[in-house]
Amino acid sequence: MEQKKTFVDRIWDFFTSIKLAIVLFLLISLTSIVGTIIEQRAEPQKNIEILSKLFGSDIAPALYSILDTLQFTDMYHSWWFVSLLMLFATNLIICSLDRLPKVLRIVREEIKPLPEEIFSTLPVKREIFLNKKIDNIKPTLIGALRKHGFNLKEDSSSGQLFSQKGAFSRLGVYITHLSILIILAGALVGIFFGFKGFLNIREGMTYSVAFRGGMNWTHQDEVMVENLITLMNRAKGDIVEAARFMNTTPQELRRTLRYYGIEPLGFEIECRDFEVEFYGNSDMPKEYKSLLVVRDKDRNFDKWIEVNDPLKYKGYTFYQSSYGTWPGVKGVFKFNFIDKNGNVLEKNVSPLEDFELPGGLKAKVVDFSPALAFDETGRPFTYTAQMNNPAALVEFNRKDWSRWVLKRYPQTWQLPDGSALQFVDYWGVQYTGLQVRRDPGVWLVYLGCIIMAIGLYITFFISHKRIWLRLVPEKNGTRVLIGGSVSRNREAFERHIDSIIKEVQ
């Protein structure tokens, strides 16, 4: 009579189920697809626009509300997604613990000679006849098999030679299981202790913090955030120093910063310059890059970053992701005056500021357009707020010399006397949009991937091979009966045996 299972036994059986593993894997995969489509911790309007394209604008707001309630807008930090990962890890661990002892016994078990009735049932069987006596063919057989990795042992009572190799390959699947657990651990470390946010830095500005996405600050919150940013900048990113300014503890200040979605970097980062290069005369960006300056107690350095070439420092990675024009800001015009002899004079001036040029010239910028175009009547207008075609209206002290100078069109730089005024930049009005990430679990993920590659190689390309040889003396020689078994890829093993036989013959 079957013994009644206890509650613990039922729980154990539940977690050792392969069906449970399949269901959990499917749930994680399907929800991850949704989490990939829905931008995580983004402004609601962004995701509503995405849903409108997929399902139509009528149901997009209601669908977004449902997804937000179910925490799909911050899925990787939701309790249910973390629970799915933990259940999957538990299932994997218990499945491995349930089956591993039996496999370890097979791995550790020494190969022994087989009785004749069992020998005849081996899945791989071959038979050859050699016209030599047993004592003469043993060295040949041992040498041939040793060449292929089989170190033969002999049992004189049964007249058998036997060997095995690759017993450890049965552990390949468990090495793969271990790698999955390490990758899951790295993902959880990244979820709970990592940071993913953004930082928009205007040219010439310095920050010592970054910001988590999806924060909905009230007006009162914005005032507090500005004060915290000022405080952290004053302390140059040092949270201990900032806590001293606030007369509080670093732990309490960290909690306050976390509440407002502010990540202290521990160093200062400045956008020294930002540049965009376009395809020909079009408004399609070819590349855009930022010159970032890092200032820290340990070192100061700068680096140009662009898409796929980020800045990495102290565990943080700064990716070039976007750019734009900061509204309501007055910048500095950068010009190069090139005289008739090719000499270059650099000039940095503010709007409406008079500046002198060689040859008695005086000028000032009286108007600016970030994207200048002309209508059918020749009247200038601005067609976008982005710096797609920046132009400065420069007024000179000579009659009929006033003109629009366009940064992207050198023909507009030429002056009537043969000199040129090159419009280099309107500095200080553009910002660079950076994605900021810190993932302390990434090294666990890398380690898990390496271990997974090893486990998969062992699992698919190495097998546990066992071989037995019975030497039967006959009148004119010796009959060699060969039997073998393999854990996987039987056809390859049979070809292997056949090649050994050819060498022996």
Q: What domains can you pick out in the chain, each with its CATH number?
A: 7-105 (no CATH), 110-166+463-504 (3.30.310.220), 187-327+431-446 (2.60.98), 332-430 (no CATH)
Contacts of 294 (CB under 8 A, 6+ apart): 267, 268, 269, 300, 301, 302, 303, 311, 313
pLDDT band at 393 (very low <50, low <70, confident <90, very high): very high
Q: Is 380 helix (H, G, I), strand (E, B) or coil?
A: strand
Task: Tell me the per-residue pLDDT of 345-365, one tens digit each, with 9 for 90 and over.
Answer: 999 999 999 999 988 889 999
* Pick from 195, 194, 210: nearest CA to 432: 210
pLDDT band at 2 (very low <50, low <70, confident <90, very high): low
Interval 67-92 mean pLDDT: 90
Would the pLDDT of 192 be above 90? no
Q: Which residue has the higher pLDDT, 392 or 35?
A: 392
pLDDT band at 57 (very low <50, low <70, confident <90, very high): confident
Interval 235-264 mean pLDDT: 91
What token pair was written down for 201?
């830095």
Percent of the chain surpassing pLDDT 70: 99
Instruction: Give me the pLDDT at residue 3, please.
Output: 63
Task: Tell me the per-residue pLDDT of 212-222, one tens digit each, with 9 for 90 and over.
Answer: 877 778 888 88
* Pick from 90, 87, 86, 34: nearest CA to 192: 86
Instruction: Give me the pLDDT at residue 216, please.
Output: 76
Burial environment of residue 111 by CB neighbours within 10 A (0 to 12, 13 to 18, 19 or more): middle
First to last CA, the chain: 57
Gap between the Cα atoms of 467 and 124, Å rounded? 9
Burial environment of residue 300 by CB neighbours within 10 A (0 to 12, 13 to 18, 19 or more): exposed
Gap between the Cα atoms of 482 and 114, Å rounded? 12
Interval 464-481 mean pLDDT: 90
DSSP string, 79-123: HHHHHHHHHHHHHHHHHHHHHHHHHHHHHHPPP----HHHHTT-S
Gap between the Cα atoms of 478 and 134, Å rounded? 6
Instruction: Give me the pLDDT at residue 55, please.
Output: 87
Q: Is 232 helix (H, G, I), strand (E, B) or coil?
A: helix
H helix or E strand, kind and range, residue 37: helix 18-37
Gap between the Cα atoms of 253 and 242, Å rounded? 8
Rounded to a whole number, what is the largest CA-CA distance in the chain?
A: 124
Instruction: Give me the pLDDT at residue 1, please.
Output: 45
Instruction: Give me the pLDDT at residue 434, please.
Output: 95
Interval 230-251 mean pLDDT: 90
Q: What is the mean pLDDT of the chain?
A: 90
Would the pLDDT of 182 be above 70? yes
Out of 33-37, 52-56, 128-132, 441-445, the most confident range is: 441-445
Interval 417-427 mean pLDDT: 93
H helix or E strand, kind and range, residue 270: strand 262-278
Gap between the Cα atoms of 429 and 426, Å rounded? 7
Q: Is 325 helix (H, G, I), strand (E, B) or coil?
A: strand
